[in-house]
Every structure is written in C-alpha cells, then in structure tokens.
Amino acid sequence: MNKGTDVMSLSRDEMETWMQQQSYPKYRGTQLFESLWRQRLAGYGQISAWPKELREIMSRTAPFYRLQAVTVQKAPDGTRKILARLSDGQQIETVVLPHHYGYSVCVSSQVGCNMGCKFCASGLLKRTRNLTAGEMLDQVRLANDLIASEEQGVSRVDLMGIGEPLDNYDNVVRFIKMAHDSHGFNLSHRKFTISTSGLIRDIYRLSQEKIPVTLAVSLHAPNDALRSQIMPVNRAYPITPLVEACQFYFAKTGRRVSFEYALLAGINDSVLMAQQLAKLLEGLSCHVNLIPWNPVPEHPFSPSPPKRVEEFQKIVQNRGISCTIRKELGQNIEAACGQLRRREDAAHHIEL
Ligand code: SAH
Ligand code: SF4
C-alpha cells in the first residue's frame, strides 16, 4: 500500500486482501478492522495483538488520521453536538442524541452542501468535498467514545448532518456496508436512515443495493411551485416523479418512506397545504415527520407556532396518513445541522 492510501475506508475484505498482498496472514486484516472500529484504537501503536515490527511498518507506510473533536456542546436533554476537524483542517458536525432505546448519531456526509435549500444552514456553505467512508465511520467512533461510559454504543445512524448523502453515493453506501460488519459497529441496515433532498436517480439506485435502510425524503412543500422556490433541487427532480421513486423504494425494500416537512410560518403551513400534502401521499405506505423549523439567522423565515403545527398534523392524520411532530432536541446548542460550523467559521473570519 502506498502512503496516502485511505486505510479507514477499506472494508474488512479489502484489508484482508491487502495484508495477504504484503505476505502477512489474512487474519491481520480482520484484526486491523476490529482495532479501528470495534476497539476504536487511536493508532497502530495500540494494536497489542501485533508484533512491534508490524506496528512500526504500518505506522510508517499507511498512517491514518482520526477525527479530532474541536468542541463538544452538551444540552440539558443529553444531546451532544461535536464540531470535528478533518485531516485537511476542514470542519464538520456530528450530533449524538439520547432516546428511550439508547443513542442515535446524526452523521455529516459532505463538507457543505450544493443543494441550496432556502431554509438550511448547511447550504449556506457550498460543498467543498465529499466525506470518505472512513470519515463517516469515524463520526460513529467519536460518538461511541463520547458515550462510552454510559452505553454500549450508538444504536441508530441518521445521515442527516451536513451534506446531501445521495450526492456522495458511493462513499455513503460503502460506509453503511462497513458499519454493518459484525467485526465493527455491527449495525443492521434497518438502523440507518438516509435523508435526501430527493435525488430521484439515486433513490432508484439505492433501492437495488440490498441494504434496506430507511429513506427519509425532505419534502417541505406539497406542490412544485413552492418546492422549487424553497428547494431548487425540485426544478430537476419534481414532486410527482419523486413520489413515484418513493413508491418504488417501498416496493423493492419493504421499508416505509418518511417525508420530512419543516413548518415555516406563512410559507408552507396553511390548511390548504396540509390538504395538498395529504392528497399527494394518499395510498402511499409512508410516514410524515413535521419538524419545528430551527431558526437560521441568515434566512428570513420564522417557525410556525405550535398550535399551527398541531392543526397541520391533525389534517394530515385525518386523511389516514401517519404523521408525527419531531421532538426538538438540543435546542440551546443550535442542533440544526450546519449552524455550529457556520458560527465557528464566522468567528474565524472575524479573527482574521
Ligand atoms: N441533505 C439531506 C440531509 C441533511 S438535512 C436532506 O436535506 O434531507 C436533514 C434534515 O433537516 C432535512 O430534512 C432538512 O431539510 C432539515 N433541515 C435543514 N435545515 C433545517 C432547519 N433550519 N430546521 C429544521 N430542519 C432543517
Ligand atoms: Fe443540503 Fe439538506 Fe440543507 Fe438542502 S436541507 S441545503 S439538501 S443539507
């Protein structure tokens, strides 16, 4: 392996093959995979099962970089938000959320996002690069390190942090397959949610992958006119074919699709919009998640009042569609993804 090979993004099979290519036994590959993801070791020097010579050779020839937590904020409800530094100095966010069943982790998939949704903090910073599978796995590792004293590890992974996961398709699929490995995090496919702004072609691709993850589609508007205004991606991938793709996803995977709908006062929260939404999703095996919009100072919206959110929910439910209001977690640590990183960037610019 050449210096610069991305060790943390190698699957266990690939690690085994690589060890064999260098005339080491195959099981050294599995030991490395387990050291990285089950034992969460910080470097080759800590792999006590290896002879000293091998540890030294590997440290020299195939170094790897662990994400560094720059800050960790903890909200009274137990939510932790990590600002993490990548090997090239760029920063991303990872959020660890407590639930009755344990913890989930909200993982970023890109540095920035190119989709430009008008209500989102992540989209304010354009994508500078995709995250590797190893960098996504290392976010789960960071989360596990953080909660190590309390729990066995996170039990759900949501690709809902910064970035559009389906715009980084190959690395995201690789990440899920590697996190599934029983020698690593051992998370079943059902424990993953991919949230997407609706890249239709990739939804079809994903439905063929034999990794039945939950698909969450960020809808946020029940008609093309409004959706194209607040989510420019809708101009390329409009609502009708998007809902068809979701139908196909359900047919192929048996996984009920979730629709995310952040309520913006006076924009998408009227009775008529609720009716349109219910009509759109009629007959589809799905679930609607109403999200109280988390204010982003740069955007001119305000969140719908709680009463309006409840009314909206009732209308959708009365049409026979499963609909819940997402609990707000970690409010006072700006848990809407992208916000912390943006503030740090702003502070940095001021310092300069
Ligand atoms: N890019 C993907 C995943 C990341 S965003 C996507 O858009 O689906 C995760 C979810 O948070 C999406 O449903 C997104 O629309 C929503 N979101 C973005 N900004 C928000 C905000 N300020 N308040 C509430 N939800 C927000
Ligand atoms: Fe990107 Fe999702 Fe934010 Fe839209 S909502 S800008 S797709 S991160």
Strand, helix or coil for residue 63: coil
Atom 7 of ligand 1, nearest CA residue: 197
* Cα 262 to ligand 2 centre (Å): 12
Residue 93 bears catalytic tag: yes
Domain boundaries, the chain: 7-61, 68-351
Catalytic residue among 16, 34, 93, 334: 93
pLDDT tens-place values along the chain, 352 residues long: 445 679 999 999 999 999 999 999 999 999 999 999 999 999 999 999 999 999 999 999 999 999 999 999 998 888 999 999 999 999 999 999 998 889 999 999 999 999 999 999 887 889 999 999 999 999 999 999 999 865 578 999 999 999 999 999 999 999 999 999 999 999 999 999 999 999 999 999 999 999 999 999 999 999 999 999 999 999 999 999 999 999 999 999 999 999 999 999 999 999 999 999 999 999 999 999 999 898 988 889 999 999 999 999 999 999 999 999 987 666 555 555 555 555 544 443 332 2
337 CA to centre of ligand 1 in angstroms = 7
What's residue 196's pLDDT? Answer: 98
Residues with CB under 6 A from ligand 2: 113, 115-117, 120, 122-123, 163-164, 197, 218
* Closest atom, ligand 2, to C-alpha of 195: 2
Ligand 1 centroid to Cα of residue 117, in Å, is: 9
Q: What span, in angstroms and rounded, lies between the C-alpha atoms of 80 and 108? A: 14
d(CA 265, CA 302) in angstroms, rounded, equals: 6
120 CB near ligand 1 (under 6 Å): yes
Pick the CATH number of 7-61 from 1.10.150.530, 3.40.50.1000, 2.40.30.10, 3.30.413.10: 1.10.150.530
For residues 127 and 340, what is the distance between their CA atoms, to the nearest angstrom? 16
Ligand 1 and 261: CB distance under 6 A: no
Q: What pTM, to 2 d.p., does this model score?
A: 0.94
Judged by its nearest atom, the ligand closest to the C-alpha of residue 124 is 2
Task: Indicate if ligand 1 lies below 6 Å from the C-beta of 336.
Answer: yes
User: What was the pLDDT predicted at 105?
Assistant: 96
Is residue 301 in contact with ligand 1, taking CB distance under 6 Å?
Answer: no
Rounded Cα–Cα distance for residues 144 and 152 (Å): 8
What is the reported pLDDT for 345? 46
Taking CA atoms, 155 is separated from 11, 152, 190, in Å, by 20, 9, 10
Task: Let me know if 27 is exposed, middle or buried by CB neighbors in 10 A (0-12, 13-18, 19+).
Answer: exposed
Question: 240 alpha carbon to ligand 2 midpoint, in Å?
Answer: 20
What is the CA(46)–ligand 2 centre distance, in A?
A: 39
Q: Coil, strand, or helix at residue 302?
A: coil
- DSSP per residue, 133-164: HHHHHHHHHHHHHHHTTTSS---EEEE-SSS-
Per-residue model confidence (pLDDT) at position 327: 76
Ligand nearest to the CA of 117: 2
110-111 and 102-106 as β-strands: parallel, antiparallel, unpaired? unpaired
- Return the CATH number of 68-351, one of 3.30.450.20, 3.10.20.30, 3.20.20.70, 3.40.250.10: 3.20.20.70
